[in-house]
Amino acid sequence: MRSLGLLLFSAATALAAENVSTFSIVAYDPAAGDWGVAVASRYFSVGSVVPWAEAGVGAIATQANVNVGYGPRGLDLLKQGLTARQVLDKLLAEDTFEDKAGRQVAIIDSKGGIAAFTGPNAPNWAGDRQGKTWSAQGNILAGPQVTESMGKAFEAATGELAEKLYAALKAGDDAGGDSRGKQSASMLVVRKGGGRNINNDRRIYINVDDSPDPLKELRRLLDMNLRLLRPAPAR
C-alpha cells in the first residue's frame, strides 16, 4: 500500500504546473462521523484536484501551486496512524518538486486533529485559519475577510456537515472569494456506509466544473443529493 501511495504521489504531481487559486474548507463532524471538503475557484473543474477524503481516515485540501499527490499520499499516511501534523510534515519533507513554498494544504485526521500550511510563495492574498473542527484556507483571495467569514458561517450554521460546508463556502464567496472571479465548485463528504446504494462511504460528492454561478448550481445539486439520501416513505 505504501508503494502505491508513493507512486500516486509522484505521478499526480505532473498536474501541479497550474496554480489552483481558490478558497476551501476541510471539516469534521464527530457526532455523525463525517469528514468533508468544500471548495470554489476561478479554475476549471476544481473538484478534480483539491478535495480528498476517506471515511474513518480524514480529509485533505491541496491547492495553490498544487501538488495533487498530497491528496492520495496524505490519506495513505493517515491510514498508517499518523496525525494531521505528522502527515503535513512528511508531505513537505518528501516534496522534491519545484516551488514547494507555493503550496497550500489543510488536513484533518480521524480524531479531528488539524494541520495547515500556506507557503510564503502562495499567491496573495493567501492564508488559513482554524476552528475546533475546521480549517479554511485560500489564495488569490479578495482578502482575509474571506476565510474569516467562512469560519463564522460554518460555526453559525445548523444541520449536517454538508450544510455547514456550503454555508462556509457561500459566506466566503459573498466576502469576495477568488479575486479573479468564479468558475467551479465542489463538495465531498464521507461517512462510513453513509452513501447511496450498498458499500458506499461517499455521502456527498458533487461537482460544478464550469459555470458563471457555480455556488448556485452547487446548492441545486446539494439539495438533490440530500433528498436522495432521505429514507423512502413507508408504504
Q: What is the CATH number of the domain that holds 106?
A: 3.60.20.10
In a domain, 234, yes or no: no
In a domain, 7, yes or no: yes
- Cell of residue 129, nine digits: 485559519
Q: What percent of the chain has pLDDT over 70?
A: 91
Residue 171 phi, psi (nearest 5) = -65, -40
DSSP assignment of 176-204 equals T-BTT---EEEEEEE-TT-SSSSS--EEE
Report the Cα 5 to chain-centroid distance in Å.
Answer: 19
Q: Count Cα neighbours of 39 within 13 Å in the Cβ-side half-sphere.
A: 37
d(CA 59, CA 105): 11
* Section 149-153 average pLDDT: 98
Report the mean per-residue pLDDT for the chain. 92
In a domain, 233, yes or no: no
Task: Please enumerate, as own/partner, the contacts of 69-74 that have beta carbons within 8 Å and a separation of 24 or more.
Answer: 69/8, 69/9, 69/10, 69/11, 69/12, 69/13, 70/9, 70/95, 70/103, 70/105, 71/12, 72/5, 72/8, 72/9, 72/12, 73/5, 73/6, 73/8, 73/9, 74/105, 74/107
Of the two residues 212 and 12, the one the predictor is more confident about is 212
d(CA 127, CA 141): 9
Identify which of 216, 186, 222 has the alpha carbon closest to the alpha carbon of residue 23. 186
Instruction: Give the tens place of pLDDT for each residue, 66-102.
Output: 999 999 999 999 999 999 999 999 999 999 999 999 9
In a domain, 51, yes or no: yes
Give the Å distances, CA to CA, from 1 to 43, 110, 187: 32, 19, 27
| One-letter identity of residue 211 | S
Q: Domain total for the chain?
A: 1
Give the model's pLDDT for residue 127: 98
Identify which of 77, 59, 22 has the alpha carbon closest to the alpha carbon of residue 189. 59
Model confidence band, residue 19 (pLDDT cutoffs 50, 70, 90) = confident
Give the model's pLDDT for residue 12: 42
In a domain, 235, yes or no: no
Global model pTM greater than 0.75? yes
Instruction: Give the tens place of pLDDT for each residue, 156-191.
Output: 999 999 999 999 999 999 999 999 999 999 999 999
Identify the burial level of 163 via C-beta atoms within 10 angstroms of its C-beta, where 0-12 means exposed, 13-18 middle and 19 or more buried.
middle
Containing structural domain, residue 48: 2-228
Give the model's pLDDT for residue 200: 97
